[in-house]
Structure 1
Amino acid sequence: MTLSPQWLDELRARTLLSALIGRTVKITKAGREFRACCPFHNEKTPSFYVNDEKGFYHCFGCSAHGDAIRWMTDQRGLPFMDAIKELAQAAGMEVPAADPRAAERAERANSLYDVMTAAAEWFSQSLQGIEGAEARTYLERRGVRQEWITTFGIGFAPDSKSKLKTALSRFGVDKLVEAGLLISVDDKEPYDRFRGRIMIPIRDPRGRVIAFGGRILGAGEPKYLNSPDTPLFDKGRTLYNLDRAATASRKTGRIIVVEGYMDVIALAQAGIGDAVAPLGTALTEHQIERLWRLADVPVLCFDGDSAGQKAGLRAALRALPHLAPSRSLAFATLPKGQDPDDVVSNGGPRAMDALLAQPEPLVDLLWRSEVEAVPLRTPEDRAGLRQRLNNHAQAIGHGDVRGQYLAEFRSRFDALFTSQPSPRSRSFANPKFQPERPLSNKTRTIGGGGVAPVFARAILVGLLRHPAMILTCADALSLLLIEDPELDQLRLILLDAAYDGVMLDSDALVPICESAGLGELVASLMDSNGLAFSFTRRQADSEIARRDLGMAIEALAARPALDAALAAATARLAEKWDESGFAEQMRLVEALGDADRRLAALAQGEEE
């Protein structure tokens, strides 16, 4: 069985070395690295270091050195293929099946690096030749200095269909096609892919050229042309300048994502070397994961126009399922109509650093994007906003982070829409009409959009006794405004347990709650026999109890939106009375009455 260098590189990239070594060795954080007493020789002072970014360990005492595979073979004592299989299983990768042609493919892949290196050198020479005069003028106009042309290996592809093919003929047409340098079409002679373009080499994390980006001179489409996917290059997993930015990132403690090659080069010239760029597409999950290996909160710095804002939002949505404590994204928006080159040209590196110093957190971007997406004039508009925010929060895989987003969105929503005066505190525009809402003593306590403690306790008792209802009512349950901190925390714990799939029955909930310090609260709730609600009684019919519990949660969740809608309708009538507004007001009053009556019906022996 032959494993290609690309496959092994991907296996190493997907393996977090500190987590692997930390399974059997006690390691501690030391800046950007981890350290420990070396497991290969006896020592009292730690001299063994693990570097996740570079993917290797090293002992300064005994010189033990290696990567994840070497760790499995040297420290764990596994045969090479057993080590590969165990790492691949943990990384979610399939070990390539035995193939007699695998060795040939691996040999071809290795030779493709030689092809790409030769192509980069030829493009570089072409830039300095007669045919590269226009390209040199363009780079000079863009302010790209010669030292950075050399540093980034920038070159030029002459406007010809065969000059590259002729210059690299020693490698053969097949390899040039496989490397993405030639285009092969049926019944036609293969020809050069890149013609009349400034050529920017794309390198892998080891600094090897694996692809190119070509920028057209003057007008024409496409403006940028990238290499196709090849055995060396997968644009969805590659970030431009990652090889250089990783080194700079270790010094700054950050990683910046900009839109394109020229943005990266402009920032590097200004002394900001920790920038990378995607390759003509939106950030992928694989690229975001690689960014997180360099910094906990990468900063995305996109243009302030509509396209840049959409690109930032797409990246935010792709990151949501993978968020974790202290692991997120932030967004620094450039002034509209400016790119990083403009910012540093006009204000110097300090102007760019100022933008990067106060980026917008991910939660703020999501909130702002949804609030500004559509007008929020009607109850349906506001219900749509709440649903979209809830959907974003529910997309988060980590239970604690998901709970925090749900709580944050709920708090912001309530602050935005419940700040209006209560409809009961305002006089109606029509003096002939004064709406009355007959409330019982208990249902009156839930006015104002919040959930009174008696209702909150009853709902939680019902959920503890009928845990299957947590997922059934999850959307409505997450929207309840429970003011008591302990009861609210219990609600979030129950939701997390349900989403994590660890909840089987009521007994399984007790240790989960106890571990969160809520054991006494749960015990008191489970012993609450005095709550006069059908779904809290121990001997209640299970099917009826679950039905009533669901009705209560839905009714309570609907109240804040109905209260806000009635307040808005009343305010509009106060400014201008008309029949349609009056009808809407009456409809909302009746809807609120229905919600209150449903809650009252679920309370047994309630005083009227």
Structure 2
Amino acid sequence: MATDRGGIPPTTLQQIRDTVDIVDVVSRYVTLSKVGQNHRGLCPFHNEKTPSFNVNPGKQMFYCFGCGTGGDVFSFLMNRERFSFVEAVNELAQQAGIELPTTSIQRTSGFDRDQRKTLEHLHRLAHAWFQQNLHESTQGQGALTYLQDRGLALDTVKDFGVGYALPSWDGLLHYLCKNGAKAADLLQAGLVVAKQPSTSGESKRDGYYDRFRSRVMVPIMDLRGNVIAFGGRILEEGTPKYLNSPETPLFNKGRNLFGMDRAREAASQLNNLLIVEGYFDVMVLHQHGIRHAVAPLGTALTAEHVSLLRRFVKNVVLMFDGDAAGLGATLRTMDVFINTGVTVKVVRLPAGEDPDSYVRAHGGDQVLALQQQARPLVEFAVEQCLEGATKASVEERTRRVDDVLRILAKVSHPIEKEEYFKQVAERLGISQSLLMQRSPVLLARQVSRDSRQQSSPNLPARGRVQDQKGSREERDLVTLLIQGMIEPDQILALRPEDFLNPEYRRLVTMSLAHVNQDGVFDSEALLAEAAMNQDFSALVAQLSVSEQHFDDCRDYVKGCLNVLERRRLKTTLDELIARLRIAEREHHVEQIAEINAEIDSLREQKAGLAISPQA
């Protein structure tokens, strides 16, 4: 799958690659030693005792032979810092002093870069004002007492940057305007609300009022730790109890998770993320040492949430409230996670408990123990549908069966699905064959929709580049090609169809697109193209850092080409011999003569080729 370039021109990306030294970037995280043409060290992406992590300065690529992670300098930051591609480009562009085109930023984020800086600045000012209100104002003392009553220690309150919005209608508005803010920017930031049009001659500033009043204010951060929004919990009577910032150019609640900036490191180490329901759940859990907890922002989990968390982990545990609403929230996540490569398990808390109350009553160790007992999401969902079903009416049992069948339609593994059918049949005293007959009738339309969803590409899981099927000659030719060690006349002799391995064949096809009529190969252009394609970046990185030595490289390449040619000729000969036998059976004299002539010609060509080179 190609990586989203965010509208950044390829020439700009190549300028960044040419300016930034991958060895310098990686050396900030890994101690490297020069070994041959590469620099080598302990891999930052998995635990190892013997260095298998290689960086090639010539190709500006890295690859770990232990875990299979590889790519260019952008890929390294994306894997190490869990940046998106655009975030990695911005980070390296700043380090290199390269100005990114404004049109790229606009296409990426939907608004001007200077305007983004303005809105970030306004959020920093608002955050400081909310914190000052909580800790230094008389009115803030009540909010601080509320937080402490909710089980939050003062250190946790300060660590999460919790604040307080005063009851006044325009306290924040006046504070920010005194610091040079424009009312229109405050409106775009979601910090103020516009009043209804009036003919009273109000000033532009008087036409707005604070969005948040008399609320405990929890800052919402992006992955870099920048405040991009706020969540407010009302202290007095009123609705809504919780109020989030509206969606703005900085903030999209369907793409952000509360606490992700803090949980990312612990989650990556554990390869596990604990998803709970609210801000206070996250803060109290972190206070008790559960530092891999996050929460959605007043919305159900979305596909974009899954894309975000998949950058950090492959395992997720859901721990929602033990009431009916929490159960419903858990079951609604199934469609979001299906076919994403993320393993999802569920912890059901006792009735009346939420993660906040449970960890305060039982401690962090007990929460971790519950997490270890988490059940797979499908198993949990089936169990909830069947709970109490044996005593239900026939109509109710039929409805529940249909609910279960809808759930099981999402299970792709046939053995797992059959086992669930068996359990449901035994539980309800229904014939398993009847369940299996009912399923396609009930779910025909749903299966069609699921099939369309499954056809959408998913990000491939990071992992070892598997040993490629195909000959040693195919592997060596592709490796030498990428490393720029094949001469122009031999490059022109490469034929993609001679490569049995589909990935090698595609790499040769991609490479030949960067070869001019004289056989000169632009390897940098290929590396840049491969770096944008997650299906090939690790493989190209692996081949780029591979070290091979031949006494006579040209002669070795010639031998490899001959092996592939002999193999192709043999395949053609086999096909001709099969056609000859058919012609002989059917007594087609002229056709027999023509085929025999072709066979003789091919045999002469094959005999004239050199024998396979020796390793």
Task: Please indicate the TM-score interval, normalised by the length of the shorter structure.
Answer: 0.5 to 0.7
Letter in 2 for 1:406: K
Correspondence 1:213 to 2:228: no
Cα pair distance change 1:344/1:381, threshold 3 Å: closer
Question: Contact (CA 8 Å) 1:240, 1:279: kept in 2 or not?
Answer: yes
Q: Deviation per CA, 1:383-418, whole angstroms, max 9, x where unpaired? A: 54443333223346xxxx353553233122232244
Question: Contact 2:111 / 2:249 at 8 angstroms: preserved in 1?
Answer: no
The equivalent of 1:583 in structure 2 is none
Pick from 408, 412, 416: which aligns with 2:427? 416
- 2:76 is the alignment partner of 1:57: yes
2:284 corresponds in structure 1 to 266
CA–CA distance in 2 between the matches of 1:498 and 1:160?
52
Aligned residue in 1 for 2:440: 475
Q: 1:44 to 1:315 in 2, by over 3 A?
A: closer
> For the structure 1 residues 191 and 363, does the alpha-carbon distance in structure 2 shift closer, same or farther, using more than 3 Å as the test?
same
2:424 counterpart SS class: helix
Corresponding residue to 1:186 among 196, 205, 212: 196
Letter in 2 for 1:371: L
In the TM superposition, 1:19-98 aligns within 5 A as 30-31=45-46, 36-41=53-58, 46=64, 56-57=75-76, 68=85
1: CA distance, partners of 2:371 / 2:181: 45
* Partners of 1:240 and 1:213 in 2: CA distance: 10
Measured in 2, the distance between the counterparts of 1:498 and 1:126 equals: 52
Match of 1:115 among 97, 122, 125: 122
Cα 1:359–1:186 shift into 2, 3 Å: same
Q: Does 1:134 align with 2:134?
A: no
- Cα 1:194–1:411 change in 2 (3 A) is same
Separation of aligned partners in 2, 1:408 and 1:474: 15
Structure-2 separation of matches of 1:153 and 1:5? 34
Q: Could you tell which deviates more after superposition, 134-143 or 406-415? A: 406-415
Match among 380, 387, 392 for residue 365 of structure 1: 380
Question: Shift of the alpha carbon at 1:263?
Answer: 0.8
Which secondary structure state, in structure 2, belongs to the residue aligned with residue 120 of structure 1? helix
1:153 has 2:155 as partner:
no
Pairwise CA distance, 1:38 = 2.6
Using a 3 Å threshold, how does the CA distance of structure 1 residues 159 and 417 change in structure 2: closer, same or farther? closer
CA distance in 2 between partners of 1:70 and 1:144 (Å): 33
Counterpart residue number, 1:459: none
Q: 106, 110, 129: which one pairs with 2:113?
A: 106
Report if aligned partners of 1:301, 1:331 keep a CA contact under 8 Å in 2: yes
Deviations 1:267-325 (A, max 9, x none): 111111111011112212211332233222211111111111111111124323x344x
Aligned to 2:414: 403
The aligned residue for residue 171 of structure 2 is 163
How far apart, CA to CA, are the structure 2 residues paired with 1:275 and 1:500? 29
**What is the distance in 2 between the residues matched to 1:355 and 1:219?**
35
Q: Which amino acid aligns with 1:136?
A: L
The aligned residue for residue 266 of structure 2 is: 248
For the aligned residue pairs, the C-alpha RMSD in angstroms reads 4.7
Deviates more, 1:193-202 or 1:182-191: 182-191
Indicate yes or no: 2:371 matched with 1:356: yes
The answer as to whether partners of 1:263 and 1:340 remain within 8 angstroms in 2 is: yes
Question: What corresponds to 1:314 in structure 2?
Answer: 332
Summarize deviations over 1:101-134 as a string: whole Å, max 9, x none. Answer: x997332122111111111011111111222111
Question: Is the 1:157–1:196 contact (alpha carbons within 8 Å) kept by the matching residues of 2?
Answer: yes
Query: What is the CA-CA distance between 1:138 and the residue it aligns to?
Result: 1.0
Q: Which of 219, 223, 234 lines up with 2:252 in the alignment?
A: 234
Q: Output the CA distance in 1 between the equivalents of 2:119 and 2:7.
A: 15
Distance in 1 between the 2:360 and 2:107 partners?
55
* CA drift at 1:476: 5.9
What is the distance in 2 between the residues matched to 1:316 and 1:370? Answer: 14
Q: Alignment identity in percent?
A: 31
1:334 and 2:352 aligned: no
Is this contact kept in 2: 1:298–1:330, CA < 8 A? Answer: yes
Structure 1 distance, partners of 2:291, 2:351, is 23
Cα 1:500–1:330 shift into 2, 3 Å: closer
Are the aligned partners of 1:200 and 1:212 in contact in 2 as well (CA < 8 Å)? yes
Asked if the contact 2:119–2:185 (Cα under 8 Å) also holds between the matched residues in 1, the reply is yes
- Secondary structure of residue in 2 paired with 1:171: coil
Which residue is equivalent to 1:257? Answer: 275
Query: In structure 2, what is the Cα distance between the partners aligned to 1:71 and 1:263?
Result: 31
In structure 1, how many angstroms separate the alpha carbons of the residues matched to 2:335 and 2:382? 12
Change (3 A) 1:196 1:70: closer
Q: Which amino acid aligns with 1:57?
A: F
CA distance in 2, matches of 1:316, 1:267: 24
Q: Deviations over 1:3-55 (max 9, x none)?
A: x99988xxx9xxxxxxxxxxxxxxx9953899753343489995999599x97
Matched position secondary structure for 1:57: helix
Aligned equivalents of 2:144 and 2:361: distance in 1? 23
User: Following the alignment from structure 2 to structure 1, what is the Cα–Cα distance between the partners of residues 351 and 217?
Assistant: 28
* Separation (CA, whole Å) in 2 of partners of 1:243 and 1:500: 30
| Equivalent position SS for 1:130 | coil
Instruction: Please report how far the alpha carbon of residue 181 of structure 1 lies from its aligned counterpart in structure 2 after TM superposition.
Output: 0.3
Larger relative contact order, structure 1 or 2 (CA cutoff 8 Å, min sep 6): 2
- 1:144–1:291 distance in 2 versus 1, CA, 3 Å: same
Write out per-residue CA displacement over residues 192-213 of structure 1, whole angstroms, 9 at most, x where no aligned residue: 0000011100001111100000
Q: Check if 1:203 corresponds to 2:221.
A: yes
Q: How far did residue 66 of structure 1 move?
A: 9.6
Distance in 1 (CA, whole Å) between partners of 2:320 and 2:189 is 31
Classify 1:69/1:200 alpha carbon distance in 2 versus 1 (closer, same or farther; 3 Å). Answer: closer
The DSSP-based 3-state class of the residue aligned with 1:207 is coil
CA distance in 1, matches of 2:425, 2:237: 51
Relative to 1, partners in 2 of residues 1:313 and 1:227: Cα closer, same or farther, differing over 3 Å? same
Offset, 1:349: 1.5
Q: Which amino acid in the other structure matches residue 164 of structure 1?
A: L
**2:192 and 2:208 in contact (8 A); partners too:** yes
Number of residues of Structure 1 aligned to a counterpart in Structure 2: 388
Name structure 2 gaps, 5 residues minimum: 14-42, 91-99, 199-206, 445-449, 456-615
CA contact (8 A) 2:165 2:217 kept: yes
Aligned match for 1:390, one of 398, 402, 405: 405
TM-score (norm 2): 0.54
Relative distance call for 1:154 and 1:35 in structure 2 (3 A) is farther
TM-score computed with the length of structure 1 as normaliser? 0.55
- The code of the aligned residue for 1:179 comes to A
**What is the CA–CA distance in structure 1 between the aligned matches of 2:417 and 2:330, rounded to whole Å?**
21
2:89, 2:122 → 1: CA distance?
Answer: 33
Give the stretch that moved more between structures: 376-385 or 295-304.
Answer: 376-385
Once residues 377 and 478 of structure 1 are traced to their aligned partners in structure 2, the CA distance between those partners, rounded to angstroms, is: 23
The corresponding residue for 2:309 is 291
The one-letter amino acid of 1:403's match is P
| One-letter identity of the residue aligned with 2:76 | Y
Query: How far is 1:264 from its partner?
Result: 0.7
C-alpha separation in 2, matches of 1:124 and 1:498: 49
